[in-house]
Amino acid sequence: MDVEDYICDSLLKIRVNPNSNKTEVKVYDEVRNVLVVNIASPAENNKANMDVIRFFSKLTKKKVRIKNGLKSRNKTLLIID
């Protein structure tokens, strides 16, 4: 799955499932219009958020910031060229 296809105006909407077996992009949810992402880290002390940033930075080879959703499973990522 190519993540670049789902980036619109430098924004990427995702839904995070923390405490998963491994970190991976699972599927595109067409109902919610989000990428569903499994993250191995727990959702405590900002660990899952940091892993989301690291994971998408590696995938896109660009700088990534969480624009919305720091305390939510639903997040909007800002992809910076």
The per-residue pLDDT for 1 is 79
Q: What is the domain range of residue 49? A: 3-80
Strands (DSSP E) contained in the chain are 11-17, 24-29, 34-38, 63-68, 74-80
Here the CATH number for the domain that contains residue 41 is 3.30.1200.10
Structural domain count of the chain: 1
Q: Decide if 76 contacts 13 (C-beta within 8 A).
A: yes
Which token pair is 9?
Answer: 């105006």
Do 77 and 65 form a contact (C-beta atoms < 8 A)? yes
Predicted TM-score (pTM) above 0.85: yes
pLDDT of residue 81: 86
Please report, in tens digits, the pLDDT of each residue of the chain (81 residues total): 799 999 999 999 999 999 999 999 999 999 999 999 999 999 999 999 999 999 999 999 999 999 999 999 999 999 998
